[in-house]
Structure 1
Amino acid sequence: MRGRISVHMIEGAPVVEPYSVVALSPRTFQMKEREDGVENVKRINNFMDTAVMVGAWEGAPVRLVVIPEMAIQGMIANTPGNREREAHFAVTIPGPETDELSKKAQQLNTYIAAELYMVKDDDFPDRYFNVAFIIDPNGEVVYKRYKATSDAYEGGMLGNMNPHDVWDEFVEKKGNGNAMNAIFPVARTEIGNIGIAICHEGVYPEIARGLAMNGAEIIIRPTLIEPAVMTGMWEIQNRAHALFNAAYVVAPNLGPEILPDGGIQDLFGGQSMIVNPRGQIVAQQKGWTSGDSFVCTTIDIEALRRQRIANGLYNQFKDLRTEQYRAIYDQPIYPKNQYLDAPPTEGWLAREDATRARNIELLIERGVLTPPTGYQRNGGSANTPISDTVEKTAKG
């Protein structure tokens, strides 16, 4: 067992000594069968041993290891909306994959944060979600968060949905009627308060802010696909989330995908990073490599807490005039409860495409968006459906 983190007491409150964080960028392997996820976890765990050993050379024990979104499952060869195929690939938390990670968390005496998608949920039969989780050093799953915002492709490509699609029941069942606890849960641990914003959620400012407003001091933001990495969006977003929310951002991205023929393809671009609460990158992988890689650094939760309660310029929480910000979202845009009565079926992507097209028209009507000259409503080259693009790509 690794040495436990040093914690002492001042006036009854535990003081967290600085510790090291490791963000992994493992190679990815597509799941062909349900059991492949466990083999992927074992491969990641082997590399984790090396990364944690090196991470401890920072001079402080490694107490948090973060694994990117999709690292465990890769891209499932699935047909979204096909009930039989989805049931075949759907996973549970806890389950075989988390069991393997639990063993490693106990062995290394560290928290492990990771993600699984198309996860079953007893509260919502025949619905699947993208779920991030944290395992503590005792091997227990102490945190689960359901991805609340996804891009136009995700549901139609992977087979999962968002809490907003079953909104009323989700808030009641997962948050006991409290939307903050249902959508922005935070794990309050001995090493700090941790929340996870999954992949595309980091494209928007609201998810990270919601976690911060629920107490998150460390925001884990795993994975973003190209071309958002090469164009700098990934870095800008991660730094902004850290700066605007006075939080550490730990952002691991996927390593290259190893193909069945032994070839390698890189759809994510690497560039894993850790950002401090002032928005400064303190550890970063430049580009990508052909193998497993990681970044690490030492973080200081007590210093962060001092910054957050200081009555100065960089403590923005004290200045929030919430009533005027709430008005921004008084009028809804994306429809809620769209899969409350029945689960999605095949043709999911086309339905999502139509929903987003209607949202654009709604925003034009409200004056939020001004269309360019020559814009043709509900048609024209500027409005080529996402579903058409995906179908052509798949056929090619």
Structure 2
Amino acid sequence: MLIDRRQTIAAMLASALPWPHIGHAMTRSPAFAAVAMQLAARSVEAAPDRAAARRQMLAMIEEVGAKLRSASIFIAQYGGSPVRLAVLPEYLLTSYPGRISIPDFADKGAIAEDGPEFEALGRIASSQNLFLAGNAYETDRHFPGLYFQTSFLVAPSGEVVLRYRRLNSMFAPTPHDVWSRYLDIYGIEGVFPVARTEIGNIAAIASEEILYPEIARAHALRGAEIFVHSSSEIGSPLATQKDIAKRARAFENIAYVVSANTAGIEGTTMPLASADGNSVVVDYKGALLAESNSGETFTAFADIDLDGLRAQRRKPGMTNYLARQRTALFAQVYADADFQRADSLIDGNQVRIPDRDHFRRVHDEVIERLSKKGLI
């Protein structure tokens, strides 16, 4: 089915989809814990070839499974509820691409939708009876030569039940860069997917996208109750921009945020602990339930109270920000603010493979448009 190619977030906000009916009002949801696994990402840059990179990634998945199992046992012994949701950090298996060309990294470091890496992650989710969220670079058969940064959720069945492709990126292709074709293939449901599971309605936010309120709100308007956030960011005892944003996205959408940061990045020239620490679980009122210090750890874990969240969403009052939001007010403003143009990688009917500097040039063009409008 073809989708209107001019459809934007503004259009979706104007006709905000009704929240899905969920038959949970009369029964109490089972208690469960969520854990943000703070683990070190491992670069594949030094791997001599594709085969070596794949072996490294699969070996790392096995390590993740063992660490997660141990973490779940400890959490249960510590008095917590059974772990049913685990979130892994951003680009855990490969680190960031750096200056490797787009097609070369797609071949070396991006995994296929039906690849052995997802099969291995599915075995972990199945054997440990949990939902496993993470983030990886992924190829798409519809866009050969490109890759997308994908946040995913694997169910206890072993099936990938959520694929969210990052929409805001400075250095990599996104669905917005091939927007008309992406919408034709996946529709708006594939742009802002929400997985409806026995542990709640789950959506993903990738890395720095936590700084963009519209990403979380678009998911919330489609029913999301828990945001899984895979990140690789600077940790600090001071409040960082992302720290503040995680709490804001939680209370303004009446949703949990489970945010897993890397415990450093191995195999690059960057100092190991540059992106380390401060993994968190934030409740639907914006309160920190748990926060990790530095290093590899599972200490950001907490029980999830879905019944409390759902009761809050149904309660009339000044703090029911979802119910009070008048989305149609903003539709025209967003529609008119067309500064970041779609389809930057579409030439006619062809998808163009960009060089790394393409994204900087596009960014410069956006700044120029904003400047000409007198907005900056």
TM-score (norm 1): 0.81
Shift of 1:11: 8.2
Provide the residue aligned with 2:159 in structure 1: 140
Greater CA drift, 200-209 or 311-320: 311-320
Larger radius of gyration: 1
TM-score (norm 2): 0.85
Match for 1:46 among 61, 66, 84?
A: 66
Cα distance in structure 1, aligned partners of 2:369 and 2:237 = 30
CA contact (8 A) 1:27 1:292 kept: no
CA contact (8 A) 1:67 1:222 kept: yes
Cα distance in structure 2, aligned partners of 1:342 and 1:124 = 7
Shift of 1:210: 0.8
Cα distance in structure 2, aligned partners of 1:48 and 1:97 = 17
Cα distance in structure 2, aligned partners of 1:293 and 1:227 = 16
Greater CA drift, 214-223 or 355-364: 355-364
The amino acid that maps onto 1:171 is: L
Match for 2:256 among 213, 237, 248?
A: 248
Shift of 1:293: 4.0
Provide the residue aligned with 2:279 in structure 1: 272
Greater CA drift, 360-369 or 11-20: 11-20
Query: Runs of 5+ in structure 1 lacking a partner?
Result: 1-8, 156-160, 370-396
Give secondary structure in 1 for the equivalent of 2:274: coil
- CA RMSD in angstroms comes to 2.4
Match for 2:341 among 330, 335, 343?
A: 335
Cα distance in structure 1, aligned partners of 2:26 and 2:113 = 32
Cα distance in structure 2, aligned partners of 1:323 and 1:145 = 25
Match for 1:195 among 192, 203, 206?
A: 203
Q: Determine if the alignment matches structure 1 residue 324 to structure 2 residue 343.
A: no
| Gap change, CA 1:101 and 1:245, over 3 Å in 2 | same
Q: Determine if the alignment matches structure 1 residue 168 to structure 2 residue 175.
A: no
Shift of 1:202: 1.1
The amino acid that maps onto 1:315 is: N
Cα distance in structure 2, aligned partners of 1:227 and 1:356 = 27
Provide the residue aligned with 1:101 in structure 2: 121
Provide the residue aligned with 1:302 in structure 2: 307
Cα distance in structure 2, aligned partners of 1:278 and 1:260 = 38
Cα distance in structure 2, aligned partners of 1:80 and 1:364 = 31
Provide the residue aligned with 1:389 in structure 2: none
Shift of 1:272: 0.2
Give secondary structure in 2 for the equivalent of 1:87: helix
Instruction: Show the 5 A alignment for 1:1-396.
Output: 15-31=28-44, 32=47, 33-56=53-76, 57-76=78-97, 79-81=100-102, 83-84=103-104, 86-117=106-137, 119-150=138-169, 152=170, 154-155=171-172, 161-175=173-187, 179=188, 181-226=189-234, 232-259=240-267, 265-286=272-293, 288-289=294-295, 291-331=296-336, 332-340=338-346, 341-346=350-355, 348-349=356-357, 351-369=358-376
Give secondary structure in 2 for the equivalent of 1:74: coil
Cα distance in structure 2, aligned partners of 1:49 and 1:116 = 21
Cα distance in structure 1, aligned partners of 2:105 and 2:323 = 49
Cα distance in structure 1, aligned partners of 2:372 and 2:40 = 46
| Gap change, CA 1:10 and 1:361, over 3 Å in 2 | closer
Query: Runs of 5+ in structure 2 lacking a partner?
Result: 1-21, 48-52
Shift of 1:78: 5.9
| Gap change, CA 1:260 and 1:116, over 3 Å in 2 | closer
Cα distance in structure 2, aligned partners of 1:30 and 1:249 = 27
Cα distance in structure 1, aligned partners of 2:374 and 2:237 = 31
Shift of 1:228: 8.4
| Gap change, CA 1:123 and 1:10, over 3 Å in 2 | closer
Give secondary structure in 1 for the equivalent of 2:201: strand
Give secondary structure in 2 for the equivalent of 1:132: strand
The amino acid that maps onto 1:357 is: D
CA contact (8 A) 2:265 2:275 kept: no
Provide the residue aligned with 2:13 in structure 1: none
- Tell me the percent identity: 27
Structure with more contact order per residue of length (Cα contacts < 8 Å, sep ≥ 6):
2
Number of aligned residue pairs: give it: 343
| Gap change, CA 1:337 and 1:293, over 3 Å in 2 | same
| Gap change, CA 1:205 and 1:229, over 3 Å in 2 | farther
